[in-house]
């Protein structure tokens, strides 16, 4: 059965790697629902967070292929339940709408969103949450005319008490040492 999975890939920070990674998905016709790339907590190591809808069996194979990429250190996969995750959304609405009624203000308060910037013409609202939540906010704001709406890729953190990457790096160092 297909379900949403979050794949986390740790890699050396090399140019061209993104292409090598996405090719693994496109070759198998797996759609990338969301992709976030950033520096990890460990200097020099990049972190990719990829959300895809697939069966666990295929995910396992994809993870194997990802780890085979020379510059990839390690890839993990998790179900949504195993991770705390968020996306960030920005909404641009006409400032006029805020004057007309306090509905937007109520919405912002109720949903834990915040206002980032107000100009004479427009106001930018920021909300973090799961996709359904940022989507709901978009729908709620629609009646006031949303000028622009953008949602980020997903970022996620494991519920696991151990930091698996540092564990992995320790093991890897031992393995590399043993190669001498």
Q: Contact between 162 and other proteins (CB under 8 A)? A: no
Cα of first residue to Cα of last residue in the chain, in angstroms, is 44
61 binds other proteins, rule: CB under 8 A: yes
* Whether 65 contacts 172, CB under 8 Å: no
Q: How far is CA 55 from CA 5, 60, 63, 177, in A?
A: 9, 9, 12, 37
# binding residues, other proteins (CB under 8 A): 24
Q: Is 28 in the site for other proteins (CB under 8 A)?
A: no
| Segment near other proteins (CB under 8 A); pick from 70-78, 113-121, 145-153, 159-167 | 70-78
Residues 33 to 52: which contact other proteins by CB under 8 A?
none
16 scored as a contact of other proteins (CB under 8 A): yes
Rounded distance, CA 138 to CA 175, Å? Answer: 50
Record the tokens describing residue 79, joined without a space: 């179900």
Q: Does 64 bind other proteins (CB under 8 A)?
A: yes
Instruction: Say if CB 108 and CB 149 are below 8 A apart.
Output: no
Query: Can residue 176 be called a binding residue for other proteins (CB under 8 A)?
Result: yes
| Positions that interact with other proteins (CB under 8 A) | 11-12, 14-16, 19-20, 23, 27, 60-61, 64-65, 67-68, 70-73, 172, 175-176, 178-179
């Amino acid at each position: 059965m297909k379900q949403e999975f979050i794949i986390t890939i740790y890699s050396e920070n090399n140019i061209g790697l993104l292409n090598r990674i996405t090719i693994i998905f496109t070759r198998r016709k797996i759609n990338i629902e969301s992709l976030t790339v950033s520096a990890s907590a460990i200097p020099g190591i990049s972190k990719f967070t990829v959300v895809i809808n697939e069966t666990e069996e295929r995910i396992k194979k994809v993870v194997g292929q990802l780890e085979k990429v020379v510059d990839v250190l390690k890839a993990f996969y998790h179900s949504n339940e195993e991770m705390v995750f968020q996306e960030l959304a920005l909404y641009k609405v006409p400032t006029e709408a805020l004057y007309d009624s306090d509905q937007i203000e109520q919405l912002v308060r109720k949903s834990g969103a915040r206002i980032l910037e107000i100009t004479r013409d427009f106001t930018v609202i920021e909300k973090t949450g799961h996709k359904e939540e940022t989507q709901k906010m978009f729908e709620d704001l629609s009646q006031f005319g949303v000028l622009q709406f953008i949602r980020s890729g997903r970022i996620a953190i494991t519920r696991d008490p151990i930091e698996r990457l540092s564990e992995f790096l320790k093991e890897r160092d031992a393995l590399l040492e043993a190669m001498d």
